[in-house]
Structure 1
């Protein structure tokens, strides 16, 4: 195979994984009885795709340090998700990464390669240990306010293009709508 064929194959595989994850997660959102149950089901549905090795859902706290409270985490690298220190405080090292930027901007943030990202310092060695190579951080928005985050981690670099961003942004909107359950 030539390089362009391999890239096309990887791109199509990433799209297929995102679409399947969305379809499976959407079913969970429709039948879940509580936000925690829905968040756990969504994480599991996404992490069941081979490409995605960790999925994290967290809610913003009102504490002075602007941290996140983990609601659910799943995947073969869930130990990574459980160990995360995250913030949206621009003055904190833990608020300078993709998640902090996504929460401050209200827009999804892609990290194409953890080995090359300059704003991934506090997390890079642990990500390497768990085999994480790229991520997508998508804010959960309700009533025009950021209330939390959906983070999808992949074992491959460059796993999140425009199609995947669109799909996971749509899923984050559904997830945000379930927060008050």
Structure 2
């Protein structure tokens, strides 16, 4: 019979339990930190939540993330940390230079070598001398430093974890914390890429807004030039634009389309620059030849606008605003779906404004007469859905009348 040695067996079991316990701490920290990485949407939040997740596991007294700066001192900047001993890192002076005592600690060695550094017992490590007394005050006995990769020659920085027990970080724990440090690096790079993308998107939106504003101002200036030639129709294009916007919103059109429609309406009669002013201001009905000259303004407007690189088919909207569903319009005699939606809206808005306001050759017929006219032509010459939108606006209040009277 072989005698067993209880003391040796007990020691072995105790060591095994300790190993399992250390592994459990590291696994729990890794699990919680992984969840924190998944929900982090900023660098500060990522670091804070990861460090909180690690330090929530006993006996990790403090966890922190440091950034390796490329300054003259090669400073290791503390970006954030957590734990019962978090005060330990508040006034730490650390470097990753091999020429300074402050670079001999786990953070400096880790960054400089781009390898994990484990201090089994900080009270015995020579390089840890500058921080030993302070660490003793917080009960810190062992530590691990893992490089956080950045895809560059040296790491972004390091993940440091301190334990209140010696020898807390064996090979398995090193592997787990190295994995976590790599995930932190990936998370930081992903957030930075998203941040840069957000900046680019914001800058692009600002550029688009500036260009749209410049385009809008140019369109309005062109419209005003037209009105100077024809004082009797001063404000006509702007009123048509306002009515068109109201109709488009009622129809549920998107803001981009509404903006394009506004610009088209503001210059829909730009082709009248080719019509003699005396015809535009003639106080009596036009002759057949004069009417034909006026009708050419749709084609002329298209020719003026067609080579301008608008982001919308503004030239075509202007070209078609006098087309009618039954083919009775001009200049092409288009039928039905050949007429784009924006031009159909312009047609209704233009009809309402023209009838409701004064003209050189006749007094205003009023808004009610205009609504009767478009109702009679709904589904025949004018788009019935657009006409219905106009009738709904009329029923809901005085918005159309206010537009007619406002300019």
Q: If the TM-score is normalised by the length of the shorter chain, which range does it land in?
A: over 0.9
User: Can you give the 5+ residue segments of structure 1 that lack an aligned partner in the other structure?
Assistant: none
1:43-99: CA deviations, max 9, x gaps?
Answer: 000000011000011111121000111111110000112222111000000001222
Aligned to 2:64: 56
Aligned residue for 1:142, secondary structure, equals coil
Q: Normalising by structure 2, what TM-score?
A: 0.44
Of 118, 124, 135 in structure 2, the residue corresponding to residue 116 of structure 1 is 124
1:101 pairs, out of 109, 114, 117, with 109
User: SS of 2:115's equivalent?
Assistant: coil
For 1:142, the equivalent position in structure 2 comes to 150
> In the TM superposition, what is the alpha-carbon distance from 1:147 to its structure 2 partner?
0.8
Q: Report the Cα distance in structure 2 between the residues aligned to 1:175 and 1:36, rounded to whole angstroms.
A: 12
How far apart are residue 121 of structure 1 and its match?
0.6
Alignment-derived partner of residue 166 in structure 1: 175
Distance (Å, rounded) in 2 between the aligned partners of 1:158 and 1:120: 15
Which residue pairs with 1:11 in the alignment? 19
**Rounded Cα–Cα distance in structure 1 between residues aligned with 2:143 and 2:16:** 20
Displacement of 1:14 in angstroms is 0.6
- Structure-2 separation of matches of 1:156 and 1:77: 14
**Whole-angstrom CA distance in 2 between matches of 1:157 and 1:151:** 15
The structure in which a higher percent of residues are strand is 1
Whether the 8 Å contact between 2:76 and 2:108 is mirrored in structure 1 is no
Structure 2 Cα separation of the partners of residues 50 and 177 of structure 1: 26
Helix, strand or coil for the counterpart of 2:41? coil
Number of aligned residue pairs: give it. 181
Q: Match for 2:139 among 108, 131, 135? A: 131
**SS state at 2:149 partner:** strand
CA RMSD of aligned residues (A): 1.1
TM-score (norm 1): 0.96
Deviation, structure 1 residue 178:
2.0
Q: Distance in 2 between matches of 1:84 and 1:126?
A: 10
Q: Which structure's relative contact order is higher, taking Cα pairs within 8 Å and 6+ residues apart?
A: 1
**39-48 or 57-66: which moved more?**
57-66
Measured against aligned partners, the alpha-carbon deviations of 1:16-40 in whole angstroms (never above 9, x if no partner) come to 0000100000011111001110110
How far apart in 1 are the matches of 2:91 and 2:168?
A: 23
Indicate conservation of the 8 Å contact 1:113/1:134, yes or no.
Answer: yes
Unaligned runs of 5+ in 2: 1-6, 192-407
